[in-house]
């Protein structure tokens, strides 16, 4: 039996004209088995119009479910009465997506159980199927457990393998028409797998694994947890895109659904630059800051010793758009960081930053990337450090980085340095953490891919640049979208200056902005807070409102399908004014993208013909 769920995630409820009391998407989930993390996935993919209910809510009647265009069901056991409710919903024309569904629902998906399972296996998307268009055909990891089933009347969309070289396959994702409705099943727990891919093996939390002194996030990726051969395709992001394609596929039976784009201003890539201050002072930082500023870029400085910089110097550079934040130092217990001590270190650094400079500590990198892997009760939790940060008002960290020099693991166990380094967390996107209970933590994980110390110790300045170039090129040209984070320590600037200037020159040539961490954070908060409301499809016209209360220096981009049921988009108006838009092919599907200023409300109309 699968676990029963207890805790609910609170969400903002938005309205839709076709569904007066709800959103187009209903998520049925609780925190257990990372069910509610699907909300973070949907927001990352730009589907901000959803409502979350528990699978055990008394609201779940046939008439209630009928209000929604799409229901997403996360892993759970299902009572007989609810099985019948889902059958009626789908049979009468409803659309259902489920992650590792209860076997009592297998008939809805056209599959049969074998009572066998695969753990820590692989999947491969069928590139010939409609939802696989534009996605990778490479074999990718999933983490967790998948059910082995046989096809009865379903159409397979992806295949399941016990290991990468096994020729014997089973269905991993299936599609099935039932009555007037349609159902898609992921036979593994997608939200759980995404969290494990991004954050590492929870069984390694609080344990030294890589032989490099100090507990770090990188210890969670040891012993073969990551297949580095797929680092360059962002395998977690590919699987989230598969879900997005499935949602768009089922939308053909209801209405087009607007989404938000990953980046501002229809950009295809962003870069973030940061610098750990270590023991240096403002006179050491000044030349580096001037160099960066002269290239039109900005930088975040994480300061460990705040007595070495003045308030006047900090005010000068923050006024120019640079970020100054804290660099908490718990290295005296790096081998076994304790919750209470780490909390004390963070409180002290936060108070020091506020007291001396009047600045909040909203983004952070810890000295040596020290990662507390045990909670306040000393229990293992790979999200403990993120919880500590959230407790202290921190909203983004970059403590996961590409550093594996002199480990006890196979050479470059986190990935090959240089042009093909990729992202070992399987993602180029900044998303929130989850803790071991499955609850989403309100702190964004910004992965630091282009790490100077890795390349300095390897005496490879050219590969340092090539790492950046490879990530940018794949984001710009191959739909492998990434926020590319660079770290350039001031005390290693003798090594990094030349390749860093090449990176900034290349970014300018490619039109990739180089931001501070806090600027990225503020954009993500604006994107996640914005919502689509009053969605309606009538007479070849999609109408909706876009509501946003947060502002940013860059614009919010929304996107709608360029083609819908053989109808092509012919115009967009915003508040009755003709809006310019761009048609772009994104992972095999065509969308119309348009920009709006954040912090305002709009009425949008999209006409098809």
**DSSP one-letter string for 457-481:** HTT-HHHHHHHHHHHHHHHHHSS--
Task: Kindly report, residue by residue over 97-134, the tens digit of the pLDDT.
Answer: 999 999 999 999 999 999 999 999 999 999 999 999 99
Q: Has residue 36 got a pLDDT over 80?
A: yes
Please tell me what DSSP assigns to residue 307. Answer: G
Q: Has residue 185 got a pLDDT over 50?
A: yes
- CA dist 37 and 433 (Å) reads 9
Q: Mean per-residue pLDDT for 70-96?
A: 96
- 582 and 282 Cβ atoms separated by less than 8 Å: no
Q: Has residue 332 got a pLDDT over 50?
A: yes
Output the six-digit token pair for 60: 């779940």
Q: Are domains 269-524 and 528-608 of this chain identical in fold? A: no
CATH of 25-200+229-260, picked from 3.40.50.880, 3.40.50.300, 3.40.718.10, 3.90.1150.10, is: 3.40.50.880
Q: Has residue 21 got a pLDDT over 80?
A: no
- Residue 602: count of CB within 10 angstroms of its CB: 17
Q: Residue 42: in which H helix or E strand, if any?
A: helix 38-44
Q: What is the CATH number of domain 269-524?
A: 3.20.20.370
- pLDDT band (50, 70, 90) for residue 459: very high
Query: What DSSP letter does each residue of 402-418 carry, written as one string?
Result: ---TT-SSSTTTT--SS
Provide CB contacts within 8 A for 374, sequence distance 6+: 205, 206, 338, 339, 380, 381, 384
- Residue 313: count of CB within 10 angstroms of its CB: 18
Q: Has residue 602 got a pLDDT over 90?
A: yes
Strand extents, DSSP E, 440-588: 440-445, 450-451, 483-487, 514-515, 531-538, 541-547, 556-561, 563-564, 567-574, 577-579, 582-586
- Strand-strand pairing, 541-547 and 323-326: unpaired
- pLDDT band (50, 70, 90) for residue 563: very high
- 456 and 496 Cβ atoms separated by less than 8 Å: yes
Q: What is the pLDDT of residue 165?
A: 86
3-class SS at 548? Answer: coil
- pLDDT band (50, 70, 90) for residue 597: very high
In the chain, where are the structural domains located?
25-200+229-260, 269-524, 528-608
Q: What is the pLDDT of residue 23?
A: 86
Q: What is the separation of C-alpha 7 from the centre of its chain, rounded to a whole number of angstroms? A: 22
Q: What is the pLDDT of residue 53?
A: 96
Output the six-digit token pair for 390: 């959230």
Task: Provide the sign of the torsion angle of the four alpha carbons 107, 111, 114, 118, taken in this order.
Answer: negative
b/e sequence 180-200, b meaning 16+ C-beta within 10 Å: ebbbbbbbbbbbbbbbbbbbb
Q: What is the pLDDT of residue 7?
A: 35
Q: What is the pLDDT of residue 11?
A: 34
- CA dist 50 and 243 (Å) reads 15
Q: What is the pLDDT of residue 212?
A: 97
Q: What is the pLDDT of residue 491?
A: 93
- CA dist 47 and 428 (Å) reads 18
Task: Kindly report, residue by residue over 165-175, the tens digit of the pLDDT.
Answer: 888 999 999 99
Residue 172: what are its φ and ψ, rounded to 5°? Answer: -105, -35
Instruction: Look at the block and give the residue holding tokens 């988009």.
Output: 569
Question: Cα-Cα-Cα-Cα dihedral of 541, 545, 550, 556, to 10°?
Answer: 0
- 483 and 429 Cβ atoms separated by less than 8 Å: yes
Q: What is the pLDDT of residue 404?
A: 97
Percent of the chain with pLDDT over 70: 96
Q: What is the CATH number of domain 528-608?
A: 2.60.40
Q: Mean per-residue pLDDT for 69-95?
A: 96
Percent of the chain with pLDDT over 90: 95
């Amino acid at each position: 039996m699968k676990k029963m769920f207890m805790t609910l995630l609170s969400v903002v409820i938005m309205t839709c004209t076709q569904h007066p009391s709800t959103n187009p998407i209903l998520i049925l989930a609780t925190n257990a088995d990372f069910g509610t993390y699907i909300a973070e996935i949907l927001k990352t993919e730009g589907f901000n119009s959803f409502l979350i209910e528990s699978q055990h809510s008394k609201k779940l009647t046939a008439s209630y479910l009928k209000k929604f265009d799409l229901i997403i069901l996360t892993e759970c056991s299902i009572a007989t009465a609810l099985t019948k409710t889902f059958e009626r919903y789908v049979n009468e024309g409803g659309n259902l997506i489920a992650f590792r569904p209860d076997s009592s629902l297998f008939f809805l998906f056209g599959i049969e159980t074998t009572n066998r399972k695969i753990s820590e296996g692989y999947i491969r998307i069928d590139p010939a199927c409609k939802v696989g268009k534009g996605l990778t055909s490479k074999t990718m990891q999933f983490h967790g457990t998948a059910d082995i089933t046989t096809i009865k009347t379903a159409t397979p969309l992806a295949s399941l393998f016990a290991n990468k070289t096994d020729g014997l396959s089973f269905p991993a994702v299936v599609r099935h028409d039932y009555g007037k409705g349609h159902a898609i099943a992921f036979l593994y727990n997608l939200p759980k797998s995404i969290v494990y891919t991004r954050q590492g093996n929870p069984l390694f939390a609080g344990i030294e694994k890589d032989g490099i002194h100090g507990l770090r996030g990188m210890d969670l990726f040891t012993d073969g947890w990551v297949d580095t051969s797929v680092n360059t395709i962002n395998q977690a992001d590919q699987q989230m895109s598969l879900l997005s394609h499935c949602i768009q596929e089922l939308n053909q039976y209801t209405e087009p659904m607007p989404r938000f784009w990953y980046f501002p201003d229809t950009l295809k890539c962003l870069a973030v630059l940061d610098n750990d201050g270590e023991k240096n002072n403002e006179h050491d930082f000044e030349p580096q800051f001037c160099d960066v500023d002269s290239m039109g870029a900005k930088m975040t400085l994480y300061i460990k010793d705040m007595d070495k910089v003045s308030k006047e110097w900090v005010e000068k550079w923050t006024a120019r758009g640079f970020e100054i934040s804290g660099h908490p130092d718990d290295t005296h217990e790096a081998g076994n960081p304790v919750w209470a001590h780490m909390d004390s270190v963070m409180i002290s650094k936060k108070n020091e930053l506020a007291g001396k400079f009047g600045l909040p500590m909203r983004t952070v990198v810890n000295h040596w990337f020290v990662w507390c892997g045990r909670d306040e009760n000393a229990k293992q939790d790979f999200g403990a450090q993120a919880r500590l940060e959230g407790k202290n008002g921190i909203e983004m960290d970059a403590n996961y980085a590409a550093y594996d020099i002199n480990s006890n693991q196979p050479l470059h166990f986190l990935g090959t340095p240089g042009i093909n380094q990729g992202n070992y967390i399987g993602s180029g996107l900044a998303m929130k953490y989850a803790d071991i209970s499955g609850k989403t933590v309100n702190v964004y994980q910004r992965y630091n891919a282009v790490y100077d110390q890795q390349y300095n110790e390897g005496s490879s300045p050219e590969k340092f640049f090539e790492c950046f170039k490879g990530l940018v090129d794949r984001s710009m040209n191959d739909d492998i979208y990434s926020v590319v984070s660079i770290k350039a320590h001031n005390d290693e600037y003798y090594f990094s200056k030349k390749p860093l200037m090449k990176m900034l020159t290349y970014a300018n040539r490619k039109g990739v902005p180089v931001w501070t961490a806090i600027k990225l954070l503020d954009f993500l908060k604006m994107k996640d807070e914005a919502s689509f409301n009053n969605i309606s499809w009538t007479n070849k016209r999609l109408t909706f409102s876009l509501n946003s209360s947060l502002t940013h220096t860059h614009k919010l981009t929304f996107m709608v399908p360029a083609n819908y049921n053989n109808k092509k988009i012919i115009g967009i108006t915003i508040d009755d004014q003709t809006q310019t838009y761009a048609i772009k092919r994104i992972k095999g599907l065509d969308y119309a993208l348009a920009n709006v200023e954040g912090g305002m409300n709009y009425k949008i109309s999209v006409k098809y013909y």
